[in-house]
Amino acid sequence: MSTILDFRIAAKAQHKKTKYPLDIPRVHTSDLNADRRCRRKAYLGSYMWQNLARESERQNDKLWFGSGMHFVMEYYHGYDMDPQYVYDSYQKAWPEPKRPDNWEDLAELAAGMIHYYTTIWLPGREFFPIARKSDGTPMVEIKFEVPIKHPITGEILAIYEGQFDGIVTDTHSRLWVLEYKTAKQFIKGHLDMDFQMTAYTWAAKHMYEKDFEGCLYVQMHKSFPKDPLVLKTGGLSLNKNQRTSYRRYSAALKTYYEERLGTKIPMERYHEYLEYLKEEETPDADKFVRRDFVYRNETELASWEEQAGYQVLEMLSRTTSGYFFPNPTRDCSWDCDFQTACLAMNDGSDYEQMLGEFKQRKDRYDWQANLPEKFRELAA
């Protein structure tokens, strides 16, 4: 039984400044990922076909906060703007009824993360500057489009679209694609095989016709260290479970002993604890922020290009056949918004009614239109 609503490919160019014909399908990383997870899910939710998302007045807090922190990093590193002002401007650009329910908690979280990153984590660590175009424009939030070609004939099958968070150079002037993530938990084991890291390195290499080493993957933990507890008996707590870092704890020791008590820090009391905190940190990571250099070699990039070509070929053939079979797994309950409609498609219920709560993503709220003028001038 066919359980399809409409076989059209919905994907059109994401932005007006495209150098490729508008009738070539557009594909994103999320479409390729969704298609690998489940054809039906991809058909309903991905940009390439129905592009449906749940309609809700309030934004999803995880996505909304992540987008705000990306915006902060773009204007802080790209244009030297006060990061707290950038976050406040982002927040104000959203009318209160559209913000997530917990937007006030998120504002506090953002302030703590921004303060820690800019005043404690970054100073004293090696800094990798944002690359600049010949006219001085910083290379941040760059939309890209690169053709995915037929692996044998070389014909263009689709245009791979996306956005780099930035391009940075290292101390040897090598190029890296910058990618930020805000997360409740750091992940690193997957980076060697991460699909997006490979795809973005490949896209940057083709777009700029330059060698790229890979991606600089910066993860920001959704928490921030607090000042250590001051004990009733005097001195700072040595509890290993408290949320702190070597640098934050060292700064707190100075404040407590040198500024508040006017005495020297009794290092014999804190030496072992400071060593413990130090061991938890590296030049690129602590418990709150970590950056990883994710290398990709030529063979990996060529392999990705071939895989993407064959995958898009298959995706296009599904558009022709009009059949997108499901792939039910134990993850459906948490990783798919379409579970109820999917079940209805299987048992003959009215799935169209269930899809009524979704609408096409193209109608998203344009919050950027509400930003202060200076943001639009810089990004123009």
CB of 274 to ligand SF4, least distance (A): 49
Which residue's CB is nearer to ligand SF4, number 222 or number 318?
318
Which residue's CB is nearer to ligand SF4, number 38 or number 158?
38
3-class SS of residue 86: helix
Closest CA to 174 of 141, 128, 206: 128
User: Considering only residues 39-98, where is the footprint of ligand SF4 by CB under 6 A?
Assistant: 40-41
332 near ligand SF4, judged by CB under 6 A: yes
Binding mask 23-42 for ligand SF4 (x = CB under 6 A): ---------------x-xx-
CA atoms of 52 and 38, how far apart (whole Å): 15
Do 142 and 300 touch, CB atoms closer than 8 A?
no
Binding mask 268-307 for ligand SF4 (x = CB under 6 A): ----------------------------------------
Output the CA–CA distances (angstroms, integers) from residue 46 to 27, 189, 207, 306, 343, in the order listed: 9, 27, 24, 21, 19
Which residue's CB is nearer to ligand SF4, number 51 or number 237?
51
Which residue's CB is nearer to ligand SF4, number 45 or number 100?
45
CA atoms of 49 and 31, how far apart (whole Å): 9
Q: Chain centroid to CA 134: how far?
A: 27
Among 142, 236, 336, 344, binds ligand SF4 (CB under 6 A): 336
177 near ligand SF4, judged by CB under 6 A: no
Select from 160-168, 172-180, 191-199, 320-328 the region that touches ligand SF4 (CB under 6 A).
320-328
CA atoms of 277 and 240, how far apart (whole Å): 9
342 near ligand SF4, judged by CB under 6 A: yes
> Torsion over CA of 100, 79, 169 and 221, rounded to 10 degrees?
-30
Backbone angles phi, psi at 119, to 5 degrees: -105, -20
Which residue's CB is nearer to ligand SF4, number 54 or number 188?
54
Among 196, 242, 339, 370, binds ligand SF4 (CB under 6 A): 339
Among 266, 328, 356, 372, binds ligand SF4 (CB under 6 A): 328
Secondary structure E strands in the chain? 26-27, 52-54, 140-149, 156-169, 175-183, 214-221, 289-295, 358-360
CA atoms of 24 and 165, how far apart (whole Å): 25
326 near ligand SF4, judged by CB under 6 A: yes
Number of residues in contact with ligand SF4 under rule CB under 6 A: 11
Q: Which residues pair with 26 in a beta bridge?
A: 159
Select from 226-234, 286-294, 325-333, 353-361 the region that touches ligand SF4 (CB under 6 A).
325-333
Under the rule (CB under 6 A), what is the footprint of ligand SF4?
38, 40-41, 326-328, 332, 336, 338-339, 342
